[in-house]
Amino acid sequence: MKAIAGGSAAPNKARIDIWESLIRLVIVIISLICLLPFIHVVSKSLSSDSFVIANKVFLWPQGFTIEAYRKIFADASILRSLYITIIVTVLFTILGMILTICAAYPLSRAQFKGRRVITFIFLFTMYFSGGIIPDYMNINNLGLMDTIWSLVLPLSFSAFNLLIMKTSLTSGIPVSLEESARIDGAGHFRILFSIVLPLSKPIMATLALFYAVGRWNAYQDALFYIKHEISLRPLQLKLYYLVIQASESFQLEASQVQLSNPEVLKASVVVFATLPILCVYPFVQKYFVQGVMLGAVKE
């Protein structure tokens, strides 16, 4: 019996190993396709002009120099964009979290009358909106055009994040815990601040990251709403004008020699703008994965 099992297992195992290696190979290739573009751009940003013009840079810097980065840090408008982006992202994330909690906590309470209607009012915005132009005219009428508030306020309520938070509060907080607090005479505010929020730290971290990364990466609203106040352009919009439209030139210092080839500078701006995301990415990735799972579980 044992001998038969061993005999049939041996060739089977060998075959599996070949398949497994093949699958591993395919996965590694796909991973490399995701990774190599960055490595190329980083290499380019650290190479000297002549090698880049001669198309000699692949995955390793040629003629190593950090000249391009020095120029970026000397460019006041790029640093200003970074500053704007940081301010907007922080304000947006704080406001977004406040709104989400204020909406999710009442809607997760069974005794809250009118909760179906209010939930519908919130969630309807996921499926239907006025659209680009009505939003634009609204921002204009509210006098928010060309202010950072046009980037902070309109998108700070997210029905999708509300849904995740509500699901988490409904299923994650034991009802008995809340009931005992109520018997002890605690009001809703007290329950929210002393029980619900401390127990919801992981989900709050996840949603704060959703808000922050979403805001950091978006440029559509800035393109629409920040038109004349060039100093209020967030980093992504600045990058758009610099690299994609190439309509704006780098504000090089007068004493410096004009670069013959902007490609190196473009590459280094891309790295400059990506670096903050890359730095936090390994630490926040698991929160995002959790958030996606929660988002997939409906109501």
Partner 1 sequence: MKAASASPTNHSPLLRRKQGFGYYLQRDWQLYLLVMLPLAFVIVFKYLPMTGLVIAFKDYKIARGFWGSEWAGMQVFQDLFAKPDFIRAVRNTLLLNVLDLCFSFTMPIVLALLLNEIKSIRFKRINQTVLYLPHFLSWVIIGAIAYQLLSEGGGVVNNLIELMGGTRIPFLQQDTNWLISYLVIGVWQSMGWGTIIYLAAMSGINPEMYEAATVDGAGRWRKVWNITLPSIRATIVTLLIMALGKVMDGSFERIYALQNKATTEFTTTIPVLVYRWGIESGNFSRATAIGLFQSVIGIILVISADRVAKKLGEDGIL
Residues 76-115 interacting with partner 1 (rule: CB under 8 A): 98-100, 102-103, 105-107, 109, 111-114
Residue from 55, 247, 255, 258 in contact with partner 1 (CB under 8 A): 55
- Which of 164, 267 has the CB closer to partner 1? 267
- CB 82 to partner 1: min, Å: 14
Residue 77 near residue 251 (C-beta atoms within 8 A)? yes
- The stretch near partner 1 (CB under 8 A) out of 62-70, 178-186, 200-208, 248-256 is 178-186
- State the distance between the two ends of the chain, measured CA to CA, in whole angstroms: 53
Separation of alpha carbons 218 and 165, rounded Å: 22
Residue from 92, 122, 211, 250 in contact with partner 1 (CB under 8 A): 122
Establish if 2 lies at the interface with partner 1 (CB under 8 A).
no
Distances (CA, A) of 241 to 5, 38, 71, 122, 277: 67, 21, 17, 35, 20
Distances (CA, A) of 87 to 59, 84, 93, 215, 233: 35, 5, 10, 11, 12
What residue has token string 């490399």?
32
- CB 173 to partner 1: min, Å: 15
Residue from 97, 219, 226, 233 in contact with partner 1 (CB under 8 A): 219
Residue from 7, 17, 37, 83 in contact with partner 1 (CB under 8 A): 37
User: In the structure encoding, which two tokens stand for residue 276, read together?
Assistant: 């903050």
Residue 260 near residue 52 (C-beta atoms within 8 A)? no
- CB 190 to partner 1: min, Å: 9
Separation of alpha carbons 28 and 20, rounded Å: 12
Distances (CA, A) of 273 to 184, 239, 243, 279: 52, 8, 12, 11
Separation of alpha carbons 93 and 216, rounded Å: 10
Residue from 1, 3, 4, 183 in contact with partner 1 (CB under 8 A): 183
Residues 224-243 that bind partner 1 (CB under 8 A): 224, 236-237, 239-240, 243
- The stretch near partner 1 (CB under 8 A) out of 64-72, 74-82, 195-203, 288-296 is 288-296
Establish if 275 lies at the interface with partner 1 (CB under 8 A).
no
Residues 136-165 that bind partner 1 (CB under 8 A): 136-138, 142, 153-154, 156-157, 162
- The stretch near partner 1 (CB under 8 A) out of 66-74, 197-205, 210-218, 252-260 is 210-218
How big is the site for partner 1, counted in residues (CB under 8 A)? Answer: 96
Residues 241-270 that bind partner 1 (CB under 8 A): 243-244, 263, 266-267, 269-270
Residue 27 host element (H or E): helix 2-45
- The stretch near partner 1 (CB under 8 A) out of 64-72, 73-81, 176-184, 198-206 is 176-184
Handedness of CA 273, 267, 68, 279 (dihedral sign): positive
- Which of 69, 224 has the CB closer to partner 1? 224
What residue has token string 């840079």?
57
Distances (CA, A) of 183 to 152, 179, 198: 40, 6, 20
